[in-house]
Amino acid sequence: MQVLLASPRGFCAGVEMAVEALQRALERFGPPLYVFHEIVHNTHVVQRFRERGAIFVDDVREVPEGACLLYSAHGVAPTVRDIAAERRLRTIDATCPLVAKVHREAVRYVRAGYQIVLIGHAGHDEVTGTMGEAPHATVLVESADDVDRLDLNGRKVAYLTQTTLSLDATHRVIARLEERVPGVVGPPREDICYATQNRQEAMRTLAREATIAVVLGSRHSSNSRRLAELAAEAGLPTHLIDGVSELDTTWFTPSDTVLITAGASVPESVVDECVECLRARFDATVEEHALREERVVFPLPRELR
């Protein structure tokens, strides 16, 4: 068996920053420390912090008045910040800077009188936060077919995108929007983050050499699901798993070439455990294939510097 280990994989700069922010906050302020939504969409990371005293909430009103609250990497709507202020919460903002950029673009477009079309997945924490910047001027679409159903009433239109989408699917939606709305405008650079693009590019390239794919990531992780979809579209039997406990050796044959990658919120230790399992069971050889080198680093929230 051969294992092709995709690189880049795992933690992106936004996740690194958010995870370190929560670690520092627990060290400085001690438990219990409240976090609005999961810090990142990964069960291993969330459980590790629960054990250290982090309490994850989906409603700011669950946080005791005057307590410390950290905003997750996915960003929050202005109404959340308002409620936090009313409850005199000490807040730490660990929003990924690339998500914060989309929020700023939403504010800029709505002030300029645009109807905003947000391309993303309904219910995702990032989408909820972005739509909260201009809820009465923002409409969500998930597919090109959704664009056909829009009633834009002749208004000038701008589009924004969730940062963790499939590049190909997003381009299809944008193309349909440009057909329907001549003159539609978008951000100066695509909002899909560099890490998402790099991991998808590595998947597309290495899928040509593999016979089966394993994507490490939680099922509620948008970018992990996109990687699994790309592998399946390439014709590979594909398994999206949280970790080695879900790895079933009956999926494989000794002659397989196994492509392994990980979503942007997956710790490297989870990857290592799966690789070691295949080494032990199939005497697999492992080759790391690095298509890009990532050197992006985001500063800690100002409240922790």
pLDDT digits (tens, 9 = 90+) for 71-129: 999 999 999 999 999 999 999 999 999 999 999 999 999 999 999 999 999 999 999 99
Question: How far is it, in rounded angstroms, from Cα 105 to Cα 181?
Answer: 19
When pLDDT is cut at 50, 70 and 90, the band that residue 152 belongs to is confident
| Residues 198 and 280 occupy one common structural domain | yes
Answer yes or no: 126 catalytic: yes
Give pLDDT, residue 122.
96
To which residue do tokens 């499939």 refer?
166
Q: Which residues contact 84 (CB under 8 A, 6 or more apart)?
A: 60, 63, 69, 91
Give pLDDT, residue 14.
96
Q: Is residue 272 part of a domain?
A: yes
| Residues 177 and 235 occupy one common structural domain | no
Q: Where are the beta strands (DSSP E) in 191-252?
A: 212-216, 238-241
Q: What's the domain range around 200?
A: 2-11+194-290
Q: Is residue 303 part of a domain?
A: no
When pLDDT is cut at 50, 70 and 90, the band that residue 279 belongs to is very high
| Residues 172 and 236 occupy one common structural domain | no
CATH of the domain at 119: 3.40.1010.20
Q: What is the mean pLDDT of the chain?
A: 96
Give the percent of the chain with pLDDT over 90.
94
| Residues 54 and 77 occupy one common structural domain | yes
Is a pLDDT exceeding 80 seen at residue 153? Answer: no
For the chain, how many residues are written? 305
Final residue of a structural domain among 157, 192, 227: 192
| Residues 56 and 18 occupy one common structural domain | yes
Tens-digit pLDDT profile for residues 203-241: 999 999 999 999 999 999 999 999 999 999 999 999 999
Is a pLDDT exceeding 90 seen at residue 188? Answer: no
Give pLDDT, residue 248.
98
Q: Is residue 236 part of a domain?
A: yes
Is a pLDDT exceeding 80 seen at residue 141? Answer: yes
If you average pLDDT over residues 189-208, what whole number do you get? Answer: 92
When pLDDT is cut at 50, 70 and 90, the band that residue 190 belongs to is confident
| Residues 205 and 176 occupy one common structural domain | no
Q: Is residue 180 part of a domain?
A: yes
Is a pLDDT exceeding 90 seen at residue 154? Answer: no
Final residue of a structural domain among 153, 177, 192: 192
Amino acid occupying residue 91 = T
CATH of the domain at 84: 3.40.50.11270
Torsion angles phi and psi, residue 256, rounded to 5: -65, 150
Give pLDDT, residue 47.
97
| Residues 131 and 214 occupy one common structural domain | no
Q: Is residue 147 part of a domain?
A: yes
Q: Is residue 300 part of a domain?
A: no
Domain count, the chain: 3
- Lookup: tokens for 154: 């002749």
If you average pLDDT over residues 19-29, what whole number do you get? Answer: 98
pTM of the model: 0.93
| Residues 157 and 171 occupy one common structural domain | yes
- Lookup: tokens for 285: 């050889």
Question: Computed over its alpha carbons, how large is the radius of gyration of the chain?
Answer: 20
Q: Is residue 128 part of a domain?
A: yes
189 vs 244: which has the higher pLDDT: 244
Q: Is residue 198 part of a domain?
A: yes
| Residues 129 and 212 occupy one common structural domain | no
| Residues 56 and 66 occupy one common structural domain | yes
Give pLDDT, residue 191.
83
Of residues 137, 118, 143, the one with CA closest to residue 128: 118
If you average pLDDT over residues 234-250, what whole number do you get? Answer: 98
Tens-digit pLDDT profile for residues 292-301: 999 999 999 9
| Residues 111 and 179 occupy one common structural domain | yes
**Among 105, 126, 133, 229, which one carries the catalytic annotation?**
126
Final residue of a structural domain among 192, 211, 236: 192
| Residues 140 and 167 occupy one common structural domain | yes
- Lookup: tokens for 269: 């230790």
